[in-house]
Homo-oligomer: A and B are copies of this chain.
Amino acid sequence: MEKSDDISKPRRGEIEASQDRSRRTREKLVTAFGALLREKAFEAITMAELAERSGVAVGTVYRRFANKEALIPVIFEVYLQMLQTQSTDNSRHMTLEDDDTLWDATLKLCKAAWDVLERDPQLIRSAHLYARLRPDLVGEDWDDIIEGSVGQFRQLIDHFSDEVQRPDADGAARMVFYLLNTVMVEQGLYGDAGPGAALKVDTPAFIEDCATTVYGYLTVGEA
């Protein structure tokens, strides 16, 4: 794969890094930024903080990123990196056994999604928030994230095409992605706050309910 997510790829609002030294600076910045994103919300991260954490001067940050806004695309870059690392680690979880049913597979999927969520909630929160707040700044990483996941769901659906009732397989895969990325993320990030306050179940039951939802969506016939 030639996906260009090498850490020094410049984004919108970024200043091109011509020299070797500046490439290293960018790496330092992105690494420190990623660490900070796991600790606190993007709004709460100050430029001075980022500079200090990166071991560079404030002015140097501005040499790479024209302003704070230019860091928003990097949120998604960091998010994508994390997903890729995790998906490598978790590939065993996701491997379907020969005798797995659609239900088994759906449940595995939901469990895996939950694991990811539990790992870096703050980061995911910022990514989800700024994907909504500044959709103009998401960059192509977000698309990559989506299409990667949708592809997975598509495989699942194709594999169990006889059980699945939805006529449009691609559309169904997209809806499943959407469902998990709203329903589960919501609970993973905010738990009992927000609409989650309505729920009176523990985590395993919630995950099963999510699986039921997805399974139901896929298998229910025309009403």
Contacts of A133 in B (CB 8 A): 193
What's the nearest-Cβ distance from chain B to residue A108, in Å?
13
* A122, CB-defined interface residue at 8 Å: no
Contacts of A132 in B (CB 8 A): 189-190, 193-194
Q: Return the CB mask of A118-155 against B: 1 if under 8 Å, else 0.
A: 00000000001001110100100011001001100000
* A201, CB-defined interface residue at 8 Å: yes
Contact of B143 with A197 in the complex, beta carbons under 8 Å: yes
Number of residues in A with C-beta < 8 Å to the partner?
A: 50
Looking at the complex, which one of B103, B142, B219 makes contact with A197 (CB distance below 8 Å)?
Answer: B142
Contacts of A200 in B (CB 8 A): 170-171, 174
> For the complex, what is the distance from the CA of A181 to the CA of B219, rounded to whole Å?
23
* A198, CB-defined interface residue at 8 Å: yes
* A199, CB-defined interface residue at 8 Å: yes
> For the complex, what is the distance from the CA of A183 to the CA of B216, rounded to whole Å?
15
* A101, CB-defined interface residue at 8 Å: yes
> For the complex, what is the distance from the CA of A42 to the CA of B193, rounded to whole Å?
18
Contact of B217 with A195 in the complex, beta carbons under 8 Å: no
> For the complex, what is the distance from the CA of A177 to the CA of B200, rounded to whole Å?
12
Contact of A135 with B193 in the complex, beta carbons under 8 Å: yes
Contact of A192 with B135 in the complex, beta carbons under 8 Å: yes
Contact of A178 with B174 in the complex, beta carbons under 8 Å: no
Contacts of A101 in B (CB 8 A): 223
CB contact under 8 A between A177 and B195, given known A171-B200, A200-B171, A213-B216: yes
> For the complex, what is the distance from the CA of A212 to the CA of B193, rounded to whole Å?
26
Task: Using CB atoms and an 8 Å cutoff, list the residues of chain A in contact with chain B.
Answer: 43, 101-103, 128, 131-133, 135, 138, 142-143, 146, 149-150, 170-171, 174-175, 177-179, 181-183, 185-187, 189-190, 192-201, 209, 212-213, 215-220, 223
**Can you list 18 A-B pairs with a CB-CB distance of less than 8 A?**
A103-B223, A132-B190, A132-B193, A135-B197, A138-B193, A171-B200, A174-B200, A178-B186, A178-B195, A178-B198, A181-B195, A182-B182, A216-B216, A216-B217, A216-B220, A217-B217, A219-B220, A220-B220
